[in-house]
Chains A and B, each alone.
Chain A
Amino acid sequence: MFDVKCDVAVIGGGPAGLSAAMAAKESGAKNVMILERDKSMGGILQQCIHPGFGLAYFNEELTGPEYASRFFEKDKSLGVSFVPNTMVLNMEKNGTLICSNGEKGMMAVHAKSVVLAMGCRERTRAQIQIPGTRPAGIYTAGTAQRLINRQNEMVGKRIVILGSGDIGMIMARRLTLEGSKVVAVVEIMDYLAGLTRNKVQCLEDFSIPLYMSHTVTRIVGNNRVEGVYIAEVDEHMQSKKESEVFVECDTLLLSVGLIPENELTKAAEIAINPVTNGPEVNQYQQTSVESFFACGNVVHVNDLVDHVSMESEIAGTYAAKYALGQIEPEEGFVGCTPGANVRYICPQKIRLDAERKPVTLFFRAVRPQKNVRIIASCNGSTIYEKKAFKVNPGEMEKVTVDVAGFTDGQQLTIRIEEAV
């Protein structure tokens, strides 16, 4: 077996991995290696040919491949080793990664620290349990995006999209531009799953109808999809039988959520947060196994790649510090617990040590709320407060808190309240 040693091994060459590798290199790690299963770097950004990336990070609007190539070029100039066509099959707690590689065959990578940047996968038809037949023509939105944008193949002519996630709305526009008819975008909730800007730019600008509080109740067709039944749902999200209508289509796209891909993480017995489905991390993006760091959608699903890059730079920086033995001794932890109308907070823990730098906490609301106060408190006393016009589960929120005065064992909470 081919053995290689490195300071930092990054699993995944998407936006998270590319940013983490850059930061690791810049923080002094000598040997930084990205292990990527695809034949090229960039991850899902390679199929995101639409603009809208980089507004926060580069202050300009880029397409997915452009955004990825900025980091790729930077990594290249810094001397990051790219190892494409490589699947990590097993990850041991000591930092040994067993991989299959297209060139070298079986390969063992021995890393001083590891950055997990495997991204996420899409929820499927089965997970939301749509009854009916199982014909051709049912795709998750991201799969359809790959087929169209990377393989130049059309998935269908007459499309229904279930779910108002960002990829679904972006695909509604993409398919329309390619000449397909998007008959309907259907969302079970009474609020949008994705970003408002995508609703405006991808649906409204193309007069694509969006049905809120509706769902697909049945799929029809034996060989190819022939149509779907769509019904309105009540306040318990149960479909109202009397509202059910048949909609003819040859394709059903699903944009019903993303799940962090943590099979390797689980096998290495790294603690997983049941709400995010990603590893629990501290503000250095360090997991419960101290030589493993994690960033991007493998930790929690982000709506903007710019946030992924920022978070991943932290992971890369501290993975390098860990490999070089530069992490300050630990003085304790503060736990972060979601309060009223907060679904989760990332990172879940704040590690206390000599650094004491301000910490940015990302969080999502449970349900939409207008005219709110966002309050962060530590052991009961308010440490941060801001007003916001609205919060929406589809749009991630963040606050930055000063941790200088924190002591071991304290609890930090973020809550969203109605502003008075």
Chain B
Amino acid sequence: MKADVLVIGAGAVGCSIARELTRYNLNVIVVDKNPDVGGLASKSNSAIIHTGYDASPGTLESELVVAANPMYDKIASELDVPFSRVGAILPAITDEQFELLPTLKEKAFKNRVYDIEYLTKEKVLEMEPNMTPEVRGALYIPRESIIDPFLLVVGYAENAVANGAQFLLNTEVTGIEIKDGRITGANTTKGFIEAKFIVNAAGLFCDQIASFVKKNDFFVNPRRGQFYILDKNTNCKTNHIILPIPTKLTKGKLMCPTTHGNMLIGPTAEDLEDKLDASTTKEGLQSIVADVKKMIPCVNMKDTITQFAGLRPNRNPEGLHIDAYDDVPNFVNISGVRSTGVTGSAAIGKYVIRLLQTMGMDAKPNLSFNPVRKSIPCFHEMDIHQKEEIIREDKLYAHVVCRCETITEGEIVRAIHSPIPAKTVDAIKRRLRAGMGRCQGGFCGPKVIEIIARELGIPQEAVVKDRIGSNMLEGKAK
């Protein structure tokens, strides 16, 4: 296999870079050790497109996050990704917090986020009737937005595939070959891939990849964030992203709607060592409830439909780095992406292309580049006439498999055969939401296993939840 550019890591950043690369006549390969795109951090986060109002002014992270936010109206429309500019409210509840508001506003200005406003107590309560009546005032950041992070990554990746990129999943990089001071390619579990340039977008594992070229003057530890998702039917909702006033120690725990009408609350921020420990803890979950109740007292854990934890790649020393080197001149090393990876991805993609060009990448525009990617038609969102029409076209759309989210067999079959095929139970869940509702796959799970097995021509016991080894079943009954 030969690539002009080999991107390591198919998270939001890697997939955005891949898509940007396909705007040029380049042979692009993306590898990821996970079975699906959206790897780790990109699939378990607060699903917010930040403005960058509270970044450290003057840093690369501030520059790229602030630049990325306005790009999402176009990206979401081109890639057919659920996205909504709901806006954020930072309520000041204590006197101490109230006194911090001007400082926060000033920081936003330094980050060139100028559309930030004060809200009176009355206005906050009008905008958010479930806010604690003890609120004294707030800051309002209109461009803080919510997105479906799974579909953003799938959108980037599928659009990249449509424009010629190749994705190799379940493929782990085991080494990078250097000859005469230049990288010649990467050894992977699927063989050697010859590459003119390599981009390290391996997120949590970027230090390991960097060590293959001895550019690991840093290390990455996971900063775990635990979350709750609440049922769409909860009586306790907010209209905006409710952000706590950050303290010196933590950004705190937020509450926000998701693009699908659930409520999300969290995250914790726990520094760990084990890069695989995406487990929730009793203490962590309890702390989320306690903290969020200070802002939104009606939050009721009876409405929870799932809890999860994500691992932010925390760089030591901190800070977003996108580095190129004189002694390894065809290697781009991205590290320290942290919690702004989904937001930053749009701008990081552009930035990396320019960097590669300065490094000598020969990039002629791809005149047939098509920026548009269509999602699988969503039965649930159609009106009755559209439903009739799609069933006429594809009878499998009449068969509702996931009753909680109203997902049909037609959608599942299309996802399995899409440009980035959804071959696992979780991949289908992330693309379509089958199993993401209140029964958590209790009813549709067995049917999804049957459909995957049938479509891929494999036995049901070979169907995995996610990674290799996560088989759903143990074999046939007697």
Contact = CB atoms under 8 A, between A and B. Distances in A.
Interface size class of B (residues with CB under 8 A): 35 or more
Interface string B437-449: 0111111011001
Given A105-B391, A106-B388, A136 B471 contact: yes
A251 B276 CA distance: 20
A157 B474 contact: yes
B26 interface: no
A142 B442 contact: yes
Contacts of B446: 143, 146-147, 150-151, 153
B304 A106 contact: no
B94 interface: no
Contact of B282 (A106, A131, A153, A156): A131
B307 interface: yes
A224 B471 CA distance: 7
Interface centre among B306, B439, B474 (most CB of A within 10 A): B474
Contacts of A142: 442
Interface size class of A (residues with CB under 8 A): 35 or more
B308 A134 contact: yes
A254 B307 CA distance: 16
A178 B425 CA distance: 25
A420 interface: no
Contacts of A89: 400, 406
A335 interface: no
B470 A136 contact: yes
B251 interface: no
Contacts of A87: 399-400, 403, 406
A126 B379 CA distance: 27
A1 interface: yes
Contacts of A147: 446, 449, 473
Contacts of B473: 147, 153-155
Interface in B436-478: 438-443, 445-446, 449-450, 460-461, 464-478
Nearest to A180: B474
Given A1-B384, A154-B473, A223-B467, A143 B442 contact: yes
Contacts, number: 149
B477 A152 contact: yes
Contact of A121 (B304, B438, B465, B466): B438
A399 to B, nearest CB: 30
B379 to A, nearest CB: 8
Given A124-B438, A129-B285, A140-B442, 8 more contacts: A124-B306, A124-B439, A131-B284, A136-B466, A136-B472, A137-B472, A147-B473, A153-B473
25 contacts: A37-B403, A87-B399, A87-B403, A102-B395, A105-B388, A106-B387, A106-B388, A126-B304, A127-B304, A131-B279, A132-B280, A133-B277, A134-B278, A143-B441, A143-B442, A143-B443, A143-B446, A147-B473, A153-B449, A154-B473, A178-B478, A218-B279, A223-B470, A250-B474, A263-B404
Interface of A: 1, 37, 85, 87, 89, 98, 100-103, 105-106, 121-122, 124-127, 129, 131-137, 139-140, 142-143, 146-148, 150-157, 178-179, 217-220, 222-224, 250-251, 263, 266
